[in-house]
Amino acid sequence: MAVNKPGAGKPRGNLPPLELYVPEPQFRPGDTVDYSGLVIPEAGRQPRPDEACAASETRPLCDDMIRVLDAEGRAVGPWDPALDPETLRRMLRAMALTRAFDDRMYRGQRQGKTSFYMKCTGEEATSVASAFALADDDMVFPSYRQQGILITRGFPLVEMVNQIYSNRADRLKGRQLPIMYSARDYGFFSISGNLATQYPQAVGWAMASAIKGDTRIATSFIGEGSSAEGDFHAAMTFAAVYNAPVVLNVVNNQWAISSFSGFAGGERATFAARAIGYGIAGLRVDGNDALAVYAAMQWAANRARANAGPTLIEHFTYRAEGHSTSDDPSAYRSAQEREEWPLGDPIMRLKQHLVALGEWDDERHAAMDLELAEEVKKATKEAEKNGILGHGLHHPFHTMFEDVFEELPWHLEEQAEQAIHERRIKWPSWKEFSK
Amino acid sequence: MRELNMVKAINDALDVMLAVDPDVLIFGQDVGYFGGVFRATDGLQARHGQKRCFDTPIAESGIIATAIGMGAQGLRPVPEIQFADYILPAFDQLVSEAARLRYRSGGEFWAPITVRSPYGGGIFGGQTHSQSPEAIFAHITGLKTVIPSTPYDAKGLLIAAIECDDPVIYLEPKRLYNGPFDGHHDRQLATWAGHPGARVPEGRYTVPLGKAAIVRPGDDVTVLAYGTMVHVALAAVEETGIDAEVVDLRSIVPLDIETIVASANKTGRCVIVHEASRFGGFGGELSSLIQERCFYGLEVPIERVAGWDTPYPHAFEWDYFPGPGRVASALRRVMEND
């Protein structure tokens, strides 16, 4: 035990003792929520600078909030992407399908068909509208809450469920925690549990594209909580230094499990504002406004494609549900937050817009919801034929030892043999049918 | 046949690979215009251009992460970490990402990257310019770890590492860059001139990963070593006059278990030598493997000669560094235990 502990500092005149500030969210369980202090700029008032502008010109947009849909559901202002009704309906459908999928998988977890699930309820626009603005061969380095991108790109729902169930058709061979998808053929990079690692990887992918003279760009998503990781800083630095064709997204859903955004520094500056210090363009966007998300991603993608540099986009939204199936948000935040959230629900707002255009109505919406629920149910049933977690139908056991390296070294061959031997003792009737 | 020192052999390997494979590229701190703090990348930017060999920010995690992203896009990156002591900020990217990418994606993505990093002591490098972290990487499933001891092996192993589609940690014993150091710091330092391992062919050739080399055949005791310790072990063997078989592992992972087991069964005695500290060091794994496989062939307990379990000191360099005297003592001990 150390005997020479450092003593107290010398008193300095009349200075007060130093105080540690620990952030505290505005509302805890049971509190009445009052969002009147939250500044929500009027839709349509944000200027749209040239896509090739100097990064510093975007500084005002980092404290503002790009919004297109007004309170009546009209698309207003220079960021209106003027999408045709058919595209708007497809976007609405992808968002609704994402929500229907989440709802069913959440129930599947509660029914014991899998171990774990994470919904993206309330954040569907951030992924779906982003995917609409990208080319299908642009590479996405997602976090675990961008399932909307896979769904938008047409990745089969059955494949998603197979992964969630870790069954014999799971293309990740039962190795990965549910929702840690990988879909190279859909431009969707393998999801890692380690937060923010994908951010500088996306920058590297974009640098490679530039080195090879390719035309594809990269994009990555993290939550506002993960922006506190060192890899955020590495990504921003490398993106700026090499002018990498990358779009870096921070989905600010206000909560990192139980920690509010203040623990990522959100009380002092917006997450978009971090861009300016790196010399990167920054945009802050209403993340529940699908048209604003689309417009921001389109702006940033065009900028990257024109070799005009990287962009950081903060999507201001709200995590409407628990962090995961292992989380109960009523233990740390007021249930009223979701109800009172001033930016509303992304699906309802796009629906309202289409209705205002005379291109949609309640009946069609209700019919779509029924149809999507049926589509998800069908995919689930189809996937269940391949097995659910813990019910025996999975990849051949030997595959557990494969893909550690390109080829199996001797020690893994030996261990595979030993593990198979142990299984035979445990279950004498078990047959390893592959090898 | 020309003779090259180890730095020039490494430089030659990189030059060859830049020329034969358009997807190979090199980056890291000071590796571009300046040519690296040890001259390993000297002239490469001038010959192959800024897009093939360039400087990076001082951010190890960023260097490895961007390499992983580039690998996923189809390139074959060879990033450098200036000293192995400074590889730790990239540990998350190496362990959680590069090593696991092929496995976790069911083979959809992989990280064909080779991380070059100077390592090891004997240069008065103190705590943060001398460490030997190979055991940390040996424990990580999905990483390969390679350590050369001669210019010939350095070039051949580096080319094999770059061509390998698995992530490889390629540790360069910087003590050997300019000459085959045997631990006799008080004597005239040797250069690579005249050493058979310094004869380096032109062009592309490989030394396979996972293959050890018997650098001195013998019957009495097996000495397992790698990097600088190969030369220290050879000196110790010479001084004791014991007929030891010195095995240069060359690869830590994958490990050439057949060569090790055959030698240990032949001699019945084993001394394991490494610079890295002893507790939890790679010597423990080697010792355990030999014990499991050669138990009935062993005449005496296996000896380990390693760095002490302290951080690498500056003033006590030659008390820490496992020199030929300590290796010779171990050799005599295993022989006396007859």
Nearest residue to B79 (alpha-carbon basis) of B14, B127, B175: B14
Cα end-to-end span (Å), chain B: 45
Q: What angle do CA A312, A317, A321 make, to 5 degrees?
A: 130
Nearest residue to B150 (alpha-carbon basis) of B282, B19, B3: B3
Partner residues linked to B3 by β-bridges: B199
Beta strands B251-253; B144-146: pairing state = antiparallel
Q: Mark yes or no for CB contact A204/B67 under 8 Å.
A: yes
Q: At residue A191, does pLDDT exceed 70?
A: yes
Domain match, B282 and B315 both: yes
The percentage of chain A sitting over the pLDDT mark of 90, rounded to a whole number, equals: 93
Eight-state DSSP code of residue A114: S
Q: At residue A391, does pLDDT exceed 90?
A: no
Domain match, B312 and B227 both: yes
Q: Mark yes or no for CB contact B51/A409 under 8 Å.
A: no
Domain match, B188 and B274 both: no
- CA-based Rg of chain A, rounded to a whole angstrom? 24
Per DSSP (E only), the strands in A289-409 are 311-316
Q: What is the pLDDT confidence band of residue A430, given thresholds at 50, 70 and 90?
A: confident
The answer to whether B77 and B25 are in contact (CB under 8 A) is yes
Per DSSP (E only), the strands in B56-202 are 76-80, 114-119, 144-146, 168-173
B109 lies in some domain: yes
Assigned CATH topology for domain A55-384: Rossmann fold (3.40.50)
Tokens read off for A225: 């909580």
Total domains present in chain B? 2
Does B70 lie at the interface with A, CB-CB under 8 angstroms? Answer: yes
Q: Mark yes or no for CB contact A172/B25 under 8 Å.
A: no
CA distance A231 to chain B (A): 7
The 10s digit of each residue's pLDDT in A2-19 is: 566 666 777 788 899 999
Question: What pLDDT does residue B160 have?
Answer: 98
DSSP class per residue in A122-151: T-HHHHHHHHHHS-TTSEEE--TT-HHHHH
Domain match, B68 and B177 both: yes
Nearest residue to B118 (alpha-carbon basis) of B103, B102, B134, B107: B134
Q: What was the ipTM of the complex prediction?
A: 0.97
Return the C-alpha torsion angle B231, B233, B236, B242, nearest 10. Answer: -130
The percentage of chain B sitting over the pLDDT mark of 70, rounded to a whole number, equals: 99
B204 lies in some domain: no
Task: For CA atoms A421, A422, A427, A433, give the dihedral sign.
Answer: negative
Task: Give B108's contacts in chain A (Cβ within 8 Å).
Answer: 171, 182-184, 190
* Residues A287, A294: Cα–Cα separation, whole Å: 10
Question: What pLDDT does residue A428 have?
Answer: 87
Nearest residue to B172 (alpha-carbon basis) of B104, B111, B241, B83: B83
Tokens read off for A65: 């909030």
Domain match, B157 and B221 both: no
* Residues B77, B114: Cα–Cα separation, whole Å: 7
Task: For CA atoms A279, B88, B92, B109, give the dihedral sign.
Answer: positive
Does B152 lie at the interface with A, CB-CB under 8 angstroms? Answer: no
Domain boundary among B167, B198, B229: B198
Q: Tell me the CATH number at B31.
A: 3.40.50.970
Q: Where are the domains of chain A?
A: 55-384, 397-426
Cβ neighbours for B230, distance < 8 A, ≥ 6 positions apart: B149, B215, B246, B248
Cβ neighbours for A82, distance < 8 A, ≥ 6 positions apart: A75
Eight-state DSSP code of residue A77: S
For residue A197, give the nearest of B97, B142, B210 by CB distance.
Answer: B97
How many residues can be counted in chain B? 338
B205 lies in some domain: no
* Residues B295, A399: Cα–Cα separation, whole Å: 32
Q: At residue A434, does pLDDT exceed 50?
A: no
Cis peptide upstream of residue B254 (ω within 30 degrees of 0): yes
Return the C-alpha torsion angle B194, B197, B201, B202, nearest 10. Answer: -80
Q: At residue A229, does pLDDT exceed 70?
A: yes
* Residues A240, B60: Cα–Cα separation, whole Å: 16
DSSP class per residue in B149-168: -SHHHHHHHHHHHHH-SS-E
Q: At residue B338, does pLDDT exceed 90?
A: no
Query: Which B positions 178-207 lie with beta carbon below 8 A of chain A?
Result: none
* Residues B180, B151: Cα–Cα separation, whole Å: 10
Question: What pLDDT does residue A12 have?
Answer: 80
Domain match, B55 and B168 both: yes
The 10s digit of each residue's pLDDT in A242-259 is: 999 999 999 999 999 999
Eight-state DSSP code of residue B103: H
Q: Is B274 a catalytic residue?
A: no
Domain match, B237 and B272 both: yes
Domain match, B264 and B171 both: no
The 10s digit of each residue's pLDDT in B275-321 is: 999 999 999 999 999 999 999 999 999 999 999 999 999 999 999 99
Nearest residue to B306 (alpha-carbon basis) of B291, B316, B321: B321
The 10s digit of each residue's pLDDT in B241-282 is: 999 999 999 999 999 999 999 999 999 999 999 999 999 999
CA distance B201 to chain A (A): 29
Question: Which residue did the predictor score with more confidence, B269 or A393?
Answer: B269
For residue A190, give the nearest of B75, B108, B142 by CB distance.
Answer: B108
Residue B247 phi, psi dihedral angles, 5° rounding = -110, 120
**Helix boundaries (H) for A156-217:** 157-165, 198-212
Q: What is the pLDDT confidence band of residue A1, given thresholds at 50, 70 and 90?
A: low
B189 lies in some domain: yes
Mean pLDDT score across all residues of chain A: 96
> Whose structure tokens read 């960023």?
B62
Domain boundary among B163, B198, B233: B198
H-helix or E-strand containing A107?
helix A85-110
Model-wide pTM > 0.90: yes
Task: For CA atoms A84, A85, A87, A91, give the dihedral sign.
Answer: positive
The answer to whether B170 and B251 are in contact (CB under 8 A) is no
Domain match, B239 and B149 both: no
Does B146 lie at the interface with A, CB-CB under 8 angstroms? Answer: no
Eight-state DSSP code of residue B281: S
The answer to whether A45 and A80 are in contact (CB under 8 A) is no
Q: Tell me the CATH number at B315.
A: 3.40.50.920
The answer to whether B274 and B282 are in contact (CB under 8 A) is yes
Q: Which of B48, B129, B231, B274 is catalytic?
A: B129
For residue A200, give the nearest of B66, B101, B102 by CB distance.
Answer: B66
* Residues A149, A145: Cα–Cα separation, whole Å: 9
The answer to whether B214 and B245 are in contact (CB under 8 A) is yes
The answer to whether B190 and B179 are in contact (CB under 8 A) is yes
Domain boundary among B198, B230, B246: B198
| Cα within 13 Å of Cα(B225), Cβ side | 32
| Cα within 13 Å of Cα(A130), Cβ side | 33
Q: Mark yes or no for CB contact A184/B100 under 8 Å.
A: no
The 10s digit of each residue's pLDDT in B4-29 is: 999 999 999 999 999 999 999 999 99
Mutation pick from A173, A220, A403 vs chain B, by most beta carbons of B within 10 Å, is: A403
Q: At residue B154, does pLDDT exceed 50?
A: yes
Question: What pLDDT does residue A431 have?
Answer: 74
The answer to whether B260 and B251 are in contact (CB under 8 A) is no
B247: helix, strand or coil: strand
Domain match, B169 and B220 both: no
B203 lies in some domain: no
How many residues can be counted in chain A? 435
B308: containing domain: 213-336
Domain match, B53 and B128 both: yes
Domain match, B78 and B184 both: yes
B15 lies in some domain: yes
CB atoms within 10 A of CB A81: 21
A353: helix, strand or coil: helix
